[in-house]
Structure 1
Amino acid sequence: MKNSIAERVADFLNRYPPFNMISSKDLLQIAKEVNIIYLEKGDTVYNQDDGFNHHFFIVRDGAINLHYTLNDADKNLNINDVGDVFGVRPLIAKENYKHTATANEESIVYGIPIDLFQSITYNNSQVSKYLVTAFATNAYDPYTTEENSKVFGDYLPNTANDVANFQTADYTKNPVTCNTKTSLRDAAIKMSTLKIGCIIVVDDEKKPLGIITNSDIKNKIATGKFPIETEVTNIMSSPVFTGKKGLTIADAQLQMIKNGIGHLCITHDGTTNTKITGILTNHDILVALGNSPSVILKEIKRANRTKKLRTARLKANTLLKSYLEQNIPLSHIVKIMAQINDAISFKVVEIAVNRMPTPPPTSFAWLALGSQGRHEQLLFTDQDNALIFEDVTTDKYEDTKNYFLELSKRITERLHKIGFEYCEADMMASNPEWCKSASEWQTQFKNWILQPDEKAVLLSSIFFDYNYIYGNEYLVENLTETIFNTIDNTSQFFKFLGRDAIKSPSPLGFFKKFVVEQNGEQKDLFNIKNRALMPLIDSARLLVLINKIKGINNTAERYEKMAELEPENKALYNSCAYAFKALSKFKAKQGILHKNSGKFIALESLTKEEKLKLRRCFKPINEIQETLKYKFDL
């Protein structure tokens, strides 16, 4: 007799990792032992510091809030939706829980028996890698979860440049060696002839005793500390650091960073007690990763042509795709992509300045606006930028402005060639309205703020998200001071910004149906940018302006800051931050899938679970808009 309940549980589990990596027969066996847990809002699955459970969990319906206490303050970690796995710590490390799991609403949770799961997946490396990676980065959510080192710590290597990569390191076999009696002269000649950067000193049994690199020769021979005829044992670095065949890139990176080295000797058993079989260098790791952030940033820094910058930016897109597929936390992705985008912009301005017929007549600053200004630009989007130049005398003004307009034209042309489309509304520094002197920009902002209308609100809201890229940073700081000083003299401007933030109603219409475009090329498509992301962006901008919060442009970070300032609204602001990250990641995935910006989505292409996740993100939009209506009497 068939177990219909177990089959339904298995069908559900099979939609989500890591269960979709398990055979149907084994999955049904797990499903038969699943513990089905029904929770009311506020019910707890487990508490921080509780002893570990014999189950880990997946959300079947509803949502589970993960939070923890640190220094007597309750901090939100994540909200887990349908298909999200949580409580995995007992599966990886037999330790007490580091956070509390509470039902955010009426929910159903499946408890997966750990002993049975482990026995079935014992030899399944795909499942193991998924769970260990997810545990290390706290990234079980298909759209977004946030890493928090205070909760999970460094279980796996996680450098500032990249997330642990589990592919096997490809090393150089049969490395060049010499014996202990070899003179440094002979070793150096051998290195030069073979064009290699290191040589391994071995004993009679080919066990590695030390290593000599170009750096050793430079620091110990060229400086006169040792004569060129000295034996290699006098200047070699010893003992060597070793690894064995099958070493992963993650482990190799960790060893190199921890010990401050650039070479690992590969031996039969991974120790200095057996014969050397290979050498792994830091360069080998960078080549294997290919498109790591550090490599891309080095390429950008060295680039002297637009074509090379475009190649680097395309590599960044490949990197983005890889990160999204690995479910890396969005905060990590955003920071890396922002650094790459800003580095490209800086280099484009630098190249353009150097190729102008004459140097700039006065100092200036280049600003990124819009999504790049907020450090939220993941995919190629259109340009939004501006230029501020230092005030000059009246007789020099026209020539100065013409110079910077020509410079801006060259910059925007190069950005266009790299892949950043021209702004349809011409909100670029090549437009005279977006290329002004410092005093002109200050006057412009005073007019926008003190005499607001719909156009002023549109233009100023784009500009409020600016990010300094190149030039005289003082000009930007001075403009910021002018803006916040002017805001003190008006309340009307905030009402205009508030109306702008609530102009787009909830993305769901009657009967909980998605509000789609009614005509044009995008008819029947869902505009995730205008209907979901922009209301959150506009609301966050208004809140930080009225609270005079400087230096935080990112939308999610703005909400997180507001949660600190207004504890009574903490839950709302945290849910807005979470929703924005989830929507941003979803948009990026759609853009990569369809090779476009991801702005317009064909709803029929989404699964039921994907639509459910989107709907869950819409609730905070409605709540923050209602809060603004009350706060600003709209």
Structure 2
Amino acid sequence: MNEKKTIELFTKKSGDYASSNYICLNENDLVVDAVKRAVEKNKETILAQNKNDEIIGIVTLKDIFKKFVTKFGQKIKIKDIMTSPVIYVNMSDLLFHAVGIMRKNNFTHIPVLNDRNKEVIGILNLSDALFAELGNTISHIDSLTQDENDIQGLINIKKYQPILVENLLQQNVAPGDIAYLLSFLNNLIYLRSVNIAKKEISQKFKNFTVPNFSVITMGSGGRMESFLHPDQDNGIIYSGDENKETDLYFEELSKHFTKILDDCGIPFCKGNLMASNPLWRHSLNGWKSQLENWTKNLSQQSMRYIEMLYDFRSVYGDASLAQDLRKFLLNVLDNKYLQKFMYKNEENSDAGLNIFGNFVLEKDDEENKGLFNLKHTGTLPLVESIRLYSVKYQIEEISTQERLDKLKSLDVFTENEFDFFSNAHKFLSLILLKNQFERAKQNLSVRNYIDVYKLTDREVRMLKMYLKRIKKLKDKVRVDFSEEYF
């Protein structure tokens, strides 16, 4: 088995392999004309569009020559022979997901769409030779992309995650790629859980017309930075008006899919930041109204809600609803006074070093006494600082690394600062991943606390170096947002 290709399957995105080997034609074009145009342009795949330029079907020259060359006449149109509706993947979908879908549907080609506007960016073509070369890895892909109605299959996906992490860590895969994979798998579980929940409640609501809706995940899941044991942070956005019947449907739906997620190993949020809580399910207009109330209220709790919501992404349904809400959220937060209040809500979050440069270890929590909370006194103050600058500069990107890259392009951070904070985020993530994997391997509870005495001397030096720099970043944030100079 080719190890490089195995790694790429689980870390590379479908958009990285999309080719321009396709042509878009109208569904009413004659097949004979379509073949002629495709051959002239040296394209193998034809994507059929309707009058609104929406992709509604797909056909390959191989299909035409193999199945229809002796069977269709001069008047046969593309729509008469195309495969429809079109099954596609998004450019941010990991490659293994596309391979699994293609195998399950016996496809050799699949369109790749832009996540945001759903426009075609290319065609993915995975040959039989690629499948054969990957050997046993295909069985893993099949298990991860099996029947969407099988809850046990979702449980298996969650159980398989530590094995994937072990393999990728052994092959020195970047921690950001591993976190993206874990987040992607969790989002896949979300998607299938919602589908299962919809079927479970369908009879109860058989006379109800379900509006378009989007299920969103927030926090580390939204940033695609999850590790091995994230809890649920989710919500629902739906189109139309809010009324009792609609809310009852989404209440039932959310209760079912959050229970499925919990059964699969993505536990309920202890703070109840879930769609089963009416605070986190609204119409698009209802969300906008709630956001305005949160910003007028300016309580610590409302700021916490806004910060959690800011890191959201759509994992199911109509992504345009999430895009609309994000634009509104960015506009609402384009307020210096509000940004200052957001900083005040986070100013006590700091890197865990005392004035002597030693680690601040847990004293009060008996279970974690003497351990270092690498999330709350390590990654969190870094992520929060980057998020504040993203709010200030109206940055739409969601992941910490993408935000850092955008902030560098805006000259908010120098090249050296970008490199340092980017590497700090990667290093802290690597230490957390290693610690969580080791605990999972020993069937211990996965947590964000580490034993600093088990780190190597080099890891201790690097951790302290990055934490000191994060403390300086927090000082910079204080100047830029609170207008306190020192």
Q: TM over 0.5: same fold?
A: yes
Structural mapping, 1:67-78, within 5 Å: none
Partner secondary structure for residue 386 of structure 1: strand
* 2:6 corresponds to 1:161: no
1:353-396: CA deviations, max 9, x gaps? 12212255322210001110110012121110011222326xxx
Report if the CA contact (8 A) 2:236-2:275 is conserved: yes
Residue 364 (1) aligns with residue 213 (2): yes
Please name the residue that 2:381 is paired with: 535
Match of 2:114 in 1: none
1:262 corresponds to which residue?
128
The reply to whether residue 285 of structure 1 matches residue 130 of structure 2 is no
Alpha-carbon distance in structure 2 between the residues aligned to 1:617 and 1:296: 39
Between the aligned partners of 1:568 and 1:600, the Cα distance in structure 2 is 30
Structure 2 Cα separation of the partners of residues 221 and 392 of structure 1:
50
Please show how residues 551-630 of structure 1 align to structure 2 within 5 Å: 552-566=397-411, 569-595=414-440, 596-630=445-479
Higher RCO (C-alpha under 8 Å, 6+ residues apart)? 2
Instruction: Report the CA distance between 1:343 and its aligned residue.
Output: 1.8
Aligned-pair distance for 1:541?
Answer: 1.1
Match for 2:264 among 397, 408, 418? 418
- Counterpart for residue 310 of structure 2: 464
CA–CA distance in structure 1, aligned partners of residues 150 and 274 of structure 2 = 22
Q: 1:163 to 1:486 in 2, by over 3 A?
A: closer
Alignment partners' CA distance in 2, 1:313 and 1:597: 13
Amino acid at match of 2:327: E
**What CA deviation, in whole Å up to 9, does each residue of 1:255-310 have, x standing for no partner?**
x99997525xxxxxxxxxxxxxxxxx83573425643xx445423xx331211111
Counterpart amino acid of residue 463 in structure 2: L
Percent pairwise identity: 25
Give the TM-score taking structure 1 as reference length: 0.55
User: Which of 294, 306, 322 is the matching residue for 2:151?
Assistant: 306
Q: Secondary structure at the match of 1:374?
A: coil
For residue 628 of structure 1, give the secondary structure of its aligned residue in structure 2.
helix
User: In 1, distance between residues paired with 2:178 and 2:209?
Assistant: 35
Secondary structure in 2 matching 1:373: coil
SS of the residue corresponding to residue 431 of structure 2 reads helix
Trace 1:477-556 onto structure 2 (pairs within 5 A): 477-488=323-334, 490-520=335-365, 521-550=367-396, 552-556=397-401
2:431, 2:210 → 1: CA distance? 45
Aligned pairs for 1:126-205 within 5 A = 160-162=8-10
Determine if the alignment matches structure 1 residue 354 to structure 2 residue 202: no
How far apart in 2 are the matches of 1:482 and 1:297? 36
Taking the aligned partners of 1:456 and 1:627, their CA distance within structure 2 comes to 25
Counterparts of 2:276 and 2:125, CA distance in 1: 50
How many residue pairs end up in the alignment?
375
1:448 to 290, 294, 299: 294
Cα shift at 1:407:
0.5
Gaps spanning 5+ residues in structure 2: where?
A: 13-61, 71-107, 110-123
Conservation of the 8 A alpha-carbon contact between 2:373 and 2:450:
yes
Matched, 1:475 2:327: no
CA deviations over 1:536-566 (Å, ceiling 9, x no partner):
111111111110111x111122112111111
Residues in 1 aligned to 2:151 and 2:291: alpha-carbon distance in whole angstroms:
34
Residue deviations 1:593-634 (CA, integer Å, cap 9, x gap) = 012334011222223222222112213311211111111214
Rounded Cα–Cα distance in structure 2 between residues aligned with 1:224 and 1:438: 50
Q: CA deviation at 1:569?
A: 3.0
Secondary structure in 2 matching 1:436: strand
Residue 379 of structure 1 aligns with which residue?
228
1:463 partner letter? L
Query: What stretches of structure 1 of length at least 5 have no aligned partner?
Result: 1-131, 134-155, 165-216, 226-255, 264-280
What does residue 101 of structure 2 align with? none
**Which stretch of the first structure deviates more once superposed, 527-536 or 434-443?**
434-443
1:367 aligns to what SS in structure 2? strand
SS at match of 1:372: coil
Q: 1:400 aligns with which of 229, 246, 251?
A: 246
Aligned alpha-carbon RMSD (Å): 3.1
Residue identity in the other structure for 1:502: E
Maintained 8 Å contact 1:588/1:597 = no
Q: Secondary structure at the match of 2:275?
A: coil
Aligned residue for 1:511, secondary structure, equals coil
**Matching residue's letter, 1:491:** K
Q: Distance in 1 between matches of 2:195 and 2:126?
A: 33
Give the distance between the partners of 1:630 and 1:224, measured in 2 at CA: 71
Contact kept? 1:297, 1:343, Cα under 8 Å = no
CA distance in 2, matches of 1:260, 1:420: 32
The answer on whether the counterparts of 1:364 and 1:389 sit within 8 Å (CA) in structure 2 is yes
Letter in 2 for 1:539: S
**Structure 1 pair 260/609, CA: closer, same or farther in 2 (3 Å)?**
closer
CA distance 1:491–1:419, change in 2 (3 Å): same
Structure-2 separation of matches of 1:598 and 1:452: 31
Provide the C-alpha distance between the structure 2 equivalents of 1:303 and 1:366, rounded to a whole number of angstroms.
17
Report the counterpart of residue 109 of structure 1 in structure 2: none
| Alpha-carbon contact 1:562-1:570 (below 8 Å) kept | no
Give the number of the structure whose residues are more often strand, by fraction.
1
Question: Larger helix proportion, structure 1 or 2?
Answer: 2
SS for the counterpart of 2:194 is helix
* Aligned-residue offset at 1:519: 0.9
Superposition map of 1:335-350 within 5 A: 335-350=180-195
Q: 1:288 to 1:448 in 2, by over 3 A?
A: closer
Structure 2 CA distance for aligned equivalents of residues 616 and 609 of structure 1: 11
Q: Which amino acid aligns with 1:451?
A: N
Q: Which moved more, 1:592-601 or 1:367-376?
A: 592-601
Q: State the SS of the aligned residue for 1:388.
A: strand
Is the 8 Å Cα contact of residues 320 and 378 (structure 1) preserved in structure 2?
no
Task: Write the distance in 2 (CA, Å) between the matches of 1:349 and 1:542.
Answer: 32
Contact map agreement 2:216 2:236 (CA 8 A) in 1? yes
* Closer, same or farther: CA 487–221 of 1 in aligned 2, 3 Å: closer
Residues 296 and 495 of structure 1: CA distance in aligned 2, closer, same or farther (over 3 Å)? farther
Give the match's secondary structure for 1:510: coil
3-state DSSP of counterpart to 2:414: helix
Amino acid at match of 1:624: L
Q: 1:28-48: per-residue Cα shift (whole Å, max 9, x none)?
A: xxxxxxxxxxxxxxxxxxxxx
Distance in 2, Cα, partners of 1:317 & 1:513: 32
